[in-house]
Each structure stands twice: as C-alpha cells, then as structure tokens.
Structure 1
Amino acid sequence: MNSPDHAAPGLPGLFAERAGDYRAGMHHCTEDELPGVLAGLLAAAAKVVLPPGVPAAWTSGLAVPTLLDDRGLTAADLDEAGLSVLTGCAVAVAETGTIVLDAGPGQGRRLLTLVPDHHVCVVRDEQIVADVPDMITALPDPTRPLTMISGPSATSDIELNRVEGVHGPRRLDIVCVHPAI
C-alpha cells in the first residue's frame, strides 16, 4: 500500500464517526486486544468463514464450532443462518466511512463479503485515508476490482423507509486497531 505509516491525526476518529452514521458497529482496540475483540464479536456465530491470508493471530481466541476456509464456497453455502465472515481491508476512507476491499490477502472475493449475514472487518489506523482520491493513491493496484462498503446492506422503499440486510450483511462490525500508547 502507498499510504503513510500512520494515519493523519483525526482520520481514525472521522472514519469511526462516519461508519457509525451508516450503522456499522464500531469497536476500538490495540493489536494485543484484537483477538479478544474478534472472539467477542464472533461468539454467537455457528460458523466463521476466513478468506485466504487472514492472520492466524486473529483467530487464536475464537471459540466457534466451525471455522471454514473460503475455498470455493457457493452463494448458497454463504447464505446459511448464523454464518459470519472475518476479513481485513485494503484501505478505509474517513470522509465517507467506507471500507474498501480489493480481494487481496485476508479480504476474500466479493461473494464472501456480500452474502453472509454478518461481516467483521479489521481496519488499522494506517489504512485510513482522508478521501476517495487518496484511496486510489493508497491502493496497491488500483486496477483490481473493488468492493466498497459503507455500513450494513440497506435500501429504501418508495416512502424512503430504510430497510437493512435485504441484499447483503445485516450486520457490519468494524474493528479499528490503534497503536498501543
């Protein structure tokens, strides 16, 4: 990634605020606290799907009945009740509260993040950029297909009543990993 080693001051807070506006669950921790936070968020899951490249340390505290590697799971497999997915991201955009996945290591393919009922995404402070132009610059390969996610799946009916989870995760939890102080 072409981003700086540390996020500019204020960007992690702005990102958390904006992602929270989209009804994403926001959680904050240090690297050492990360396995425990993930274990808590995924405790109720019957199965957790992991894309290739998820760090082993992330799953060290998980006590779910089944951990699945995403090796050719179908949409029907991923649409099971009680299924969660755990990913990282390529970059996050503070201005829009958006996480961006490019199918790189630990992120998985689009189907993996758009079908399961619950998506947990880990975002590190240094992955957060100010705006969309900075996002393009920060991507390792801006020609790769991107999945941009701002909150759980949502749509509005004709009367503008918001309905969540119609065509994707009903629940999005973002775990922001901050440097230890």
Structure 2
Amino acid sequence: MSSSSGSGSSGSRERVLARVRRALADVPRDERPQDVRVERGYLRVHGDRTTEQTVELLAENLADYRALVHRVDAAGLPQLLKRLLAAHGSQSVLVPPGLPPRWLAAADAAPVHDREADTAYELDAVDSVVTGCAVAIAETGTIVLDGGPDQGRRRITLVPDHHICVVRVPDQVVGSVPEALERLDPRRPQTWISGPSATSDIELNRVEGVHGPRMLEVILVDDRAEGQAPA
C-alpha cells in the first residue's frame, strides 16, 4: 500500500512540474519578476470620503468586529490609558521599547519591558499590553502592526489577554487595503488585526481569545496638535 501511494504522489508531482515547465517555456532565463508589470484592475479605494468620514468608517467597522473604540485628543491620552487599565484591573502592562513614555505616565499598572528571554508563560502573566500601530484600514476595520518601535515584537500582542492599540488620527488611517499596502514594508513582520481573536465551531458558537487577545481596545487619538506636547 505504501509503495502504491508513494508512486501516485510522485506521478502527481511530475505532472504538476511538467505543467510549470510548459508554462515557463517562453520566459527568458534572465527575466526577473520585477521586470514584468502586473496590471491591477481593482479600485484603490471605494467611494469618495472626507478624512473625517474615513475615520468614522474605521470606528464603525472596528466596533462591528467587537473591538472597544475610544476617541481622545493627544493631551487626554495618558488619563484615558490610566482609566482603561484600571477598569480592566491591570496591575501590569507590557511596554514596547519605543512607546512614548508620556502615554503611560499616569498609569498605575507596573510597566513590564519585553525581553527576548521571556517565555510565553511569563508574557501570559502580564495583564495588558499597550502599543501603537503602523496603519489602520477603514474599509475593513483592520489594525496593522509591523514591529515598529512603538509596537514591539509580534508575540507581545499575541499572548497577553488584553491589547490596547493607539491609532494616530488622521495620519495613520487609510481608506482601503491597497492604500495600506503602499505604506507597508513587505520585509517587516506584519500582524493584521480585525477585532479580538475569535473562532467559531461547527455550531457557530463564537469563542474569543483563542490565538490572541480576548479583548481589543482601540484608541483613536487626534494627533494634529500632538507636536505641541512633549513626548
């Protein structure tokens, strides 16, 4: 039986490779993927929205995915973070290396700095994590992290049960996925987040916190006057 199965698998592999060779027969050997322009027929963005409408759409879609959405100006961010951490009962908060110190200056939770030696069990013991983001997509209600200084490594937003993500409005908000991709470096590690981690079984019973935070809170902070405040 094992010999017959192996033979069938080998035959299928050869058929696939033969089709690939035929498809590539007329491609010059020195041609590179970047030499061939691929036509993109899809729209970059759907509809004509103002900046304010784009931000409102982001807030609506985040809430639709069961994220808790908060709005604040730059000056009020530290007090809001303090209140959210206290409301969650957080006694410890994981801090990325480049998070602006002012953000958590008022918080009572003890800061925990990410270390390479930390195990998943140690990260799981932390009550909350606060990060920034790379970009937020209004049409899909998606937050994208790319491991920037104010976001840290991927694991610190996948293990703790409570994630607070700060989005700078309007600079970090785009309308569509194509617009987001234009801002992102494909060589960086990316985490795309649409609401809290969740899954459903065959009976459609939703379970949250399966492979990431059970609770996602997103703060849309108006940073248009932030340059006037100390970091």
Q: CA deviation at 1:162?
A: 1.2
Match of 2:124 among 72, 75, 79: 79
**1:4 maps to what in 2?**
none
**Secondary structure of residue in 1 paired with 2:151:** coil
Q: CA deviation at 1:160?
A: 1.3
Match of 1:22 among 65, 71, 91: 65
- Work out whether 1:152 is the aligned partner of 2:196: yes
Alignment: residue pair count = 171
**Secondary structure of residue in 2 paired with 1:107:** coil
Match of 2:51 among 1, 8, 18: 8
Q: CA RMSD in A?
A: 1.3
Q: How does 1:43-58 map to 2 (within 5 A)?
A: 43=86, 44-58=89-103
CA distance in 2 between counterparts of 1:153 and 1:172 reads: 8
- Work out whether 1:110 is the aligned partner of 2:154: yes
Counterpart amino acid of residue 186 in structure 2 = P
What percent of counterpart residues are identical? 56
- Work out whether 1:138 is the aligned partner of 2:217: no
Match of 1:62 among 107, 111, 134: 107
- Work out whether 1:99 is the aligned partner of 2:143: yes
Task: Find the structure with the greater CA-based Rg.
Answer: 2
| Residue-by-residue CA offset, 1:78-117 (whole Å, 9 max, x unaligned) | 112x610000000000011110000011101111001101
| Residue-by-residue CA offset, 1:39-58 (whole Å, 9 max, x unaligned) | 11111202100011000110
CA distance in 1 between counterparts of 2:52 and 2:152 reads: 30
CA distance in 2 between counterparts of 1:37 and 1:142 reads: 33
CA distance in 2 between counterparts of 1:121 and 1:93 reads: 14
Q: CA deviation at 1:161?
A: 1.6
Q: With the length of structure 1 as denominator, give the TM-score of the two structures.
A: 0.90
Structure 2: runs of 5+ lacking an equivalent: 1-49, 226-231
**1:127 maps to what in 2?**
172
Larger helix percent: 2
Q: Which moved more, 1:171-180 or 1:85-94?
A: 171-180
Structure 1: runs of 5+ lacking an equivalent: 1-6
Larger strand percent: 1
Counterpart amino acid of residue 102 in structure 2 = A
Q: With the length of structure 2 as denominator, give the TM-score of the two structures.
A: 0.71
CA distance in 1 between counterparts of 2:52 and 2:78 reads: 26
